[in-house]
Amino acid sequence: MIEITDQPIQVQSCMDAVQSERAGAVDVFIGTVRNHNKNKEVIRLEFEAFDAMAVKKMKELAEEASRRWPVEKIAIVHRKGILEIGDIAVVIAVATPHRKDAFDACRWVIDTLKEVVPIWKKEMYENGEEWLEAHP
Amino acid sequence: MELTIHLYGITRDIIGGSKKSVQLPEGARVQDLLEQIRKDYPSLAELKSLLVAVNEEYAEADVVLTERDEVALIPPVSGG
């Protein structure tokens, strides 16, 4: 299950997607929208994605994670559009035989997703907005 | 040749709109596109980075472009 969606992400469906009788561990990372960043009060976020390339890159992350760790199944789902405080922006679920690999693979996937997948986050404040990471 | 460049994030705000037509000589490379577009929109130089994707893959500076390619500007990503 690798997708970009403009609908609320259902965590349970991500967990169901990685269900495996060979797995003794499922690690789930849930990225949520927080109400502040660098001392600014955030009122909502907007995510924009280059959908086709983002899905392609997310599939490559899943393949690379499966080369590095004994991954049974993996789900990566990222939301786009307008999100309110507390909404789920991204879910990564990784099933492996043992827990250490699930933690390690899940962490690597979210860290690498943030570096390479073409998705952009705009924070909106009371008095303005800003694309994150754009400027030094 | 005329290339249609797909724009995302802050590059959409800087250039205006989700697509931009750019005239380039035949055989132009990714670096030529970047030079041209930075000349037209100097504030692109203020970005932390600016990459080009060709056919949904990050492209090196020396990749040759054609009108059939799907080309996109990729400003610093910030998903997750």
pTM (2 decimals)? 0.95
Question: Does any domain span residue A134?
Answer: no
Domain that holds residue A83: 2-125
- For B56, which of A52, A110, A115 is closest by C-beta distance? A52
Contacts of A55 in chain B (CB under 8 A): none
A136 located within any domain = no
Optimal mutation site among A9, A30, A53, interface B, most CBs of chain B within 10 A: A53
**Mutation for B interface: A48, A80, A112, most B CBs within 10 A:** A48
ipTM: 0.95
The DSSP element (H or E) to which B37 belongs, if any, is helix B30-40
Nearest CA in chain B to A30: B80
Domain tally, chain A: 1
- Per-residue model confidence as pLDDT tens digits over B44-63: 999 999 999 999 999 999 99
Q: Which long-range contacts (CB under 8 A, 24 or more apart) does A9-12 make?
A: A9/A77, A9/A79, A9/A88, A9/A90, A9/A91, A11/A88, A11/A91
Tokens of B78: 């910030």
Q: Structure tokens of A15?
A: 């967990």
| Residue B66, number of CB atoms within 10 A of its CB | 12
Question: With an 8 Å Cβ cutoff, are A117 and B77 in contact?
Answer: yes
Contact indicator for A118, B7 with CB cutoff of 8 Å: no
B2-74 belongs to CATH 3.10.20.30: yes
Enter the tokens of residue B60. 């090196």
User: Does a structural domain hold residue A89?
Assistant: yes
A10, part of any domain: yes
- Provide the residue ranges of all domains of chain B, joining segments of one domain with +: 2-74
What is the structure's pLDDT at A122? 97
Question: Residue A25 is part of a domain; what is its CATH number?
Answer: 3.90.1170.40
- With a cut of 90, say whether residue A38 has pLDDT above it: no
